[in-house]
Structure 1
């Protein structure tokens, strides 16, 4: 069994015999299939060889490994996102600036695009053959970034998107793919996955239906009902809705703390300009789970009545869709400042039916403010200083070679003319 959140030792020797190595379960022991080749995590995208089953060719599994410590380097300038609590992973493919092959034809991207087509299968029989994705994340232990991996779950590809990426210090761009994975719920199995299922899929004598009997309950439900069932099959972790103040702030002396101080210093004395950055960060957060969000405009310096920017969140499409007005508040304050319940309430007081609020600050939210928001069920999204700097540094990594100031100036230059005193509801007409 492989358990979500468990860290495994991935040793160079790949010996499956020891149950543990250095106090951690041995990856090669828990993934051992007697008489068959080892399961490997040597690359980011590791496709296991196809087998000829009674129902045709099938790929037993693709093992995904993300290495956060490489994010932002010239080799891997992208930044994978793992939101395990909400069952969402955004993962970048293996095309690099130095790759001479056509986009989508590298080993990893070709495997994931093939799996994506399978995951869009229209019938249970097609989905029963679909390749499962097992996701791992490299973690640091004993000060070393290599040799340990954390199991993050079982994934299904929801979207595959072709995009242009920044190539680092060379100031060039290249084409790659990015994938949105849905992590399925393994509650019925105690947050564990049985390797026997993968072993059965590797057995040429086992039919797709017989192998499926060993799959987790949520995977079987997906095979039966298709992608329309994913919202209720997605992994969700119940969390306390109130976050303590220290958890909202970067650690003292950390790179995040320095970046947050840089943002505050940059906008000190020009707080109104911070609204453009807050609007861009809010857009990135609201789009994070695949939602469609339209940035609208910034309000004028006077007479905004508690709103600094306006946007629109689109849900569904056509007759099966609706749009929500997003009213945003931006507060550039010292990073150790607390936003109070009264400040949040002023934004909420502006909201009408069908509107939601977004509050973006370089500070933190007091426990009492969060408690009131939960108890009164305020329809508002809170983005604190730590969340703000995470989004900005990700934007800087993806599009500006890691240069945070260049990222901020790009946002400001792009939004200079989008300042008006229009009514928020006009965003619904665009």
Structure 2
């Protein structure tokens, strides 16, 4: 599916977007493709050349495995924004910036410099994004990153967030990066950076990185998708933890599906924080709408409110949402309204195709979306989800 580069060629290879760089076959740490590809070591999510505490870092790689349920790094190819979590990922360390790899210390300094002058941005090291690939210790190159994003404010590009684990609270960073429109990073630029040369002084520096340093201009690589018709496999979690989370939610509301409607509204609020009032309808009179609400646009002093209707189905993962359920919601939408459909299962292909082909303004939230939304809001494991359910939606029995 992807182009590949052999392990023995890594030390001389440039970086091409979406290419897989193969690991070795000796069965030890020396097989690590990233360590051979870029001279930044073979351990950790943060890997860099230089010292964060001495402000001499000239090159950084961010490695994401995609398996951290509590810290779900995420690349949105449509917007070109990458969300990355810092390295204070376990309780027990009260100092946000004192971590073994000094990753959070580096993030703080980089984002401070990003908001300063061009001279200070010139000291920001380029970030190269890699994710775990197969087989073995292979990696895939996902792009050249610049801190921040055109659509993200200074209040939101680097945020210290609270998490709790084993009833202990601790903080970590959530950082926003932009994938720059750079299809290939030359090996010569990597060599210059590894030698300590300032990024923009190298003749091999990509123009998009120069523009960011000089004027904080984001030439972002955006890849808008065509009409999306997700398959059943795409709509349901493939990992055991995600499957157990969906089963736990379904079991929690077993025998009381109307109580799930309140849970569906909370899931929607996590996805769409600008949701204003949202009221549950009476079960006997919902008419295809389990809740009605308003979504707020514009300034708080003079907002525009858009009405929406929400439908929720507490289905098991094996039971799809069909034409009948969707038709009820569609028939209740009025002019300039939109719909939200939340289920723990999936939408069958006919329903999905009709909604998208006919351009019905309906947000489709499936079981996989529910799991990912909870992860992104700090409920990444079964115990955390059960605690959330018991706290917000206690079983009256």
**1:182 corresponds to 2:178:** yes
Residue aligning to 1:90: 83
Structure 2 Cα separation of the partners of residues 396 and 295 of structure 1: 24
CA offsets, 1:43-95, max 9 Å, x none? Answer: 222332169xxxxx7642222223444x35xxxxx322323433333322122
Please point out which of 70, 73, 77 is paired with 1:81. Answer: 73
Q: Residue 302 of structure 1: SS of its match in structure 2? A: helix
* Deviations 1:382-405 (CA, angstroms, capped at 9, x unpaired): 11123223434665645x773432
RMSD in angstroms over aligned alpha carbons? 3.7
Q: Identify the residue that residue 361 of structure 1 maps to in structure 2.
A: 343
| Cα shift at 1:381 | 1.3
Residue 38 of structure 2 corresponds to residue 27 of structure 1:
no
Equivalent in the alignment of 2:145: 155
Gaps of 5+ in 2: 1-13, 149-156
User: What residue is the counterpart of 1:130 in the other structure?
Assistant: 124
Per-residue deviation, 1:108 = 1.0
Distance (whole Å) between structure 2 residues aligned to residue 412 and residue 345 of structure 1: 29
C-alpha displacement at 1:128, in angstroms?
Answer: 4.3
| Count of residue correspondences | 367
Structure 1 position 412, deviation (Å): 1.6
Contact 1:185/1:236 (CA < 8 Å) preserved in 2?
A: no
Matched ranges for 1:314-329 at <5 A? 314-315=296-297, 317=299, 322=304, 324-329=306-311
Q: Judge conservation of contact 1:7–1:148 (CA < 8 Å) in 2.
A: yes
The corresponding residue for 1:407 is 388
The alignment partner of 2:229 has SS state of coil
| 1:3 counterpart (6, 16, 21) | 16
Partner of 2:285: helix, strand, or coil? coil
CA distance in 2, matches of 1:255, 1:261: 10
The equivalent of 2:229 in structure 1 is 242
Residue 350 of structure 1 and its aligned partner are, at CA, apart by 3.9
Q: Distance in 2 between matches of 1:6 and 1:122?
A: 34
1-side partners of 2:292 and 2:185: how far apart? 44
Q: Is the 8 A contact 2:132 2:138 kept in 1?
A: yes
SS in 1 for 2:317: coil
Instruction: Report if the CA contact (8 A) 2:322-2:348 is conserved.
Output: yes
- The answer (yes or no) to whether the contact 2:144–2:179 under 8 Å persists in 1 is yes
Question: How far apart, in 1, do the equivalents of 2:340 and 2:20 lie?
Answer: 36
**8 Å Cα contact 2:292/2:309 also seen in 1:** yes
Task: Output the CA distance in 1 between the equivalents of 2:209 and 2:302.
Answer: 27
Does structure 1 retain, via aligned residues, the 8 Å contact 2:345–2:367?
A: yes
CA contact under 8 A between 1:41 and 1:64: conserved in structure 2?
A: no
Q: 1:312 to 1:397 in 2, by over 3 A?
A: same
Counting only pairs closer than 5 Å after superposition, residues 351-430 of structure 1 correspond to structure 2 as: 351-352=333-334, 355-392=337-374, 395=377, 397-398=379-380, 402-413=383-394
After superposition, residues 32-181 of structure 1 pair within 5 angstroms as: 38-49=39-50, 59-69=57-67, 71=68, 78-86=70-78, 87-95=80-88, 96-100=90-94, 102-106=95-99, 107-121=102-116, 123=118, 126-139=120-133, 141=135, 147-158=137-148, 159-167=157-165, 169=166, 171-181=167-177
